[in-house]
Chain A
Amino acid sequence: MGVQAREVIPEHGPLLQIKGLSVRRQNHDVLHAISLEIHSGERVSIEGAIGSGKSTLLWAAMGLIERQAGEIQIFSKPCVTEPDFARVRGQIALMFQDPDDQLIGPTVLEDLEFGPLNLGVDRRQSRDRARQVLSQLGIESLAERAVGTLSGGQKRLVALAGVMALEPRLLLLDEPTASLDRAAAEGMVEVLASLPCALVLASHDPLCIEALSTRRLTLREGVLGSRSLTG
């Protein structure tokens, strides 16, 4: 193992617990008193129109933006400051909406190693983990490719591989099938369905939501509501 010990995560209790979360950005209330619990094994979709606050909710859950009110507990540990969030990142991971924002490169393999190495996993283990994830997603052939030369669909798969290499227990996905054609979107959904971790999907793609969700929530004007599985 590397230099940083992974945080000991309790096996029981919710993976993510949000109480009364409110976020204001650019003088505009984006989220109002959101409360949410995600448990192990769940795949929760958050539906909502563009600009409804889906991405903001995921960013707030990762501690990447400031919140005006509310409590966030990740793996039953209160997260208030940046070091609180930094300790659990990796075990909770976020796939960004635009893969170009997330891919560091230079090559696909090096990009996949980036997260584990930052979390203190040694180079050999990181490389093994990266190769294992590439093989799991069936994209081993991309290992030595420069990230800038990948197609849109390939970038999205590599971005997913990058967060999977962190071995998260809870994966937050921001529009995972956006800008993919039907076949590529189906391939992505198949991959996501095979993941062992809990998922939170911010999406408005019916294919993705219907195939993956065990619980559906809607976000409208910053307020979270539940929705029946029959839609």
Chain B
Amino acid sequence: MFDVSASGSVVKADERARLWMAILGSVLIASMRDFESTLAAFLVTLIVACTAIFAPKMSLPPLRVGRVGRRLLQINLLSIFIWLTLPWGWTVSQGWSWQPEMATQAAVVTLRLNAIVLWCLVWLSQMEPQVLASSFRALGAPARLALLLYLTLRLLETLTSSRKRLQRAMRARGSAYSLLRRLQGIAQLLVLLIAEGVRRADIFVAALRARGLDLQSTHFYLPSSVSRPLPWRQRWTFTAAIVLLLVAGWGL
């Protein structure tokens, strides 16, 4: 599972193992329903992420604190909406009221969301789209699905550059001077990105068809770096990790 460098430090995990860990861990976290187990899962994930950030040579692929912070900030914009809606109830007699059991649910959803994002960042950050798709394929996924995953990631990559371009264009027309203006800017950006995403997806599909791709057909092409065989590195470590994860899941 891991590549051992000359100094003996374990620095690079096998891509398939990383993908497995991300999928299994996410499924496990998503299946948690009560507050205590979700909090425990979040804390475990936080410790693992801190290990990847502050002691990258111990076992995990290196992770940058700025990147983690930005991702968590973005994902928690969704949490704000959850907290603004879920714990509040309205009745004619009492008006707006705080509902503790719904607040617990909001906390579970928030913790679950953060734990899954952190866990996936730990295992999948800095993986190129073709490496992710080839790992998916090497784990036994059908070629068609691996190709779809690769193309989706490629489209997301293009959309990321569109987002940067739009943000630059918005900044060039004056920086936001107030929080309200900044929030309006984010809303505008989201609308523009959705429209751009739909437009780009349509053109992307047309470009694939123009270059002879027919996903309905039995004959289609998988790029060589997506279909390349991946040699296992230290299989026992991978097996041990899976067993540990399953045991932890059983216990929870």
A107-145: CB near B (< 8 Å → 1, else 0) gives 100100111011110010000000000000000000000
Contact present for A105 and B219 (CB under 8 Å): no
Interface of chain A, main secondary structure? mixed
A163-202: CB near B (< 8 Å → 1, else 0) gives 1001000000000000000000000000000000000000
B52: shortest Cβ distance to chain A, in Å?
A: 25
The answer to whether A9 has its CB under 8 Å from any CB of chain B is: no
Chain A contact-residue range equals 35 or more
B224-239: CB near A (< 8 Å → 1, else 0) gives 1110000000000000
Q: How many residues belonging to B are interface residues under a CB distance threshold of 8 Å?
A: 27
Contact present for B151 and A104 (CB under 8 Å): yes
Contact present for A104 and B210 (CB under 8 Å): no
Residues of chain B within 8 A (CB-CB) of A106 are: 128-130, 223, 225-226
Residues of chain B within 8 A (CB-CB) of A102 are: 207, 210-211
The answer to whether A217 has its CB under 8 Å from any CB of chain B is: no
| Cβ contact of B214, chosen from A2, A86, A114, cutoff 8 A | A86
Contact present for B223 and A105 (CB under 8 Å): yes
Contact present for B210 and A118 (CB under 8 Å): no
The answer to whether A89 has its CB under 8 Å from any CB of chain B is: yes
Residue in B206, B210, B213 with the greatest tally of chain A CB atoms within 10 Å: B210
Residues of chain A within 8 A (CB-CB) of B203 are: 96, 98, 101
Task: Give Cα A59–Cα B202 distance, bound, in whole angstroms.
Answer: 12
B:182-235 near A, CB below 8 Å: 200, 203-204, 206-214, 219-221, 223-226
The answer to whether A225 has its CB under 8 Å from any CB of chain B is: no
A116: shortest Cβ distance to chain B, in Å?
A: 8
Contact present for A114 and B219 (CB under 8 Å): no
A46: shortest Cβ distance to chain B, in Å?
A: 18
The answer to whether A90 has its CB under 8 Å from any CB of chain B is: yes
Contact present for A64 and B157 (CB under 8 Å): no
Instruction: Write the chain A residue with the least CB distance to B212.
Output: A118
Contact present for A148 and B157 (CB under 8 Å): yes
B201: shortest Cβ distance to chain A, in Å?
A: 10
Known: A104-B223, A114-B223. A93 touches B210 (CB 8 A): yes
Contact present for B158 and A64 (CB under 8 Å): no
Instruction: Write the chain B residue with the least CB distance to A107.
Output: B225
The answer to whether B12 has its CB under 8 Å from any CB of chain A is: no
Contact present for A162 and B211 (CB under 8 Å): yes
A81: shortest Cβ distance to chain B, in Å?
A: 13
Task: Give Cα A102–Cα B200 distance, bound, in whole angstroms.
Answer: 10
Contact present for A101 and B212 (CB under 8 Å): no
Task: Give Cα A93–Cα B220 distance, bound, in whole angstroms.
Answer: 18
Instruction: Write the chain A residue with the least CB distance to B200.
Output: A101
| Cβ contact of B154, chosen from A2, A62, A104, A163, cutoff 8 A | A104
| Cβ contact of A4, chosen from B151, B200, B219, cutoff 8 A | B219
The answer to whether A37 has its CB under 8 Å from any CB of chain B is: no
Contact present for B212 and A89 (CB under 8 Å): yes
Instruction: Write the chain A residue with the least CB distance to B225.
Output: A106
The answer to whether A30 has its CB under 8 Å from any CB of chain B is: no
The answer to whether A8 has its CB under 8 Å from any CB of chain B is: no
Residues of chain A within 8 A (CB-CB) of B5 are: none
The answer to whether B7 has its CB under 8 Å from any CB of chain A is: no
Residues of chain B within 8 A (CB-CB) of A62 are: 210
Contact present for B211 and A101 (CB under 8 Å): no
Contact present for B223 and A118 (CB under 8 Å): no
The answer to whether B161 has its CB under 8 Å from any CB of chain A is: yes
Contact present for B157 and A110 (CB under 8 Å): no
Known: A107-B225, A110-B223, A114-B221. A101 touches B128 (CB 8 A): no
Task: Give Cα A62–Cα B154 distance, bound, in whole angstroms.
Answer: 24
- Listed A/B pairs (19) with beta-carbon separation below 8 Å: A2-B219, A3-B219, A4-B219, A64-B210, A93-B210, A94-B210, A96-B210, A100-B161, A101-B203, A101-B204, A104-B151, A104-B208, A106-B129, A106-B225, A107-B225, A113-B221, A117-B221, A123-B224, A146-B128
Residues of B within 8 A of A (CB): 128-130, 151, 154, 157-158, 161, 200, 203-204, 206-214, 219-221, 223-226
Residues of A within 8 A of B (CB): 2-4, 59, 62, 64-65, 86, 89-90, 93-94, 96, 98, 100-102, 104-107, 110, 113-115, 117-120, 123, 146, 148, 162-163, 166
18 extra A-B contacts, CB within 8 A, seeds A102-B210, A104-B208 = A4-B219, A64-B210, A89-B209, A89-B210, A94-B210, A100-B161, A101-B200, A101-B207, A104-B151, A106-B129, A113-B224, A117-B221, A118-B212, A118-B214, A118-B220, A118-B221, A148-B157, A166-B211
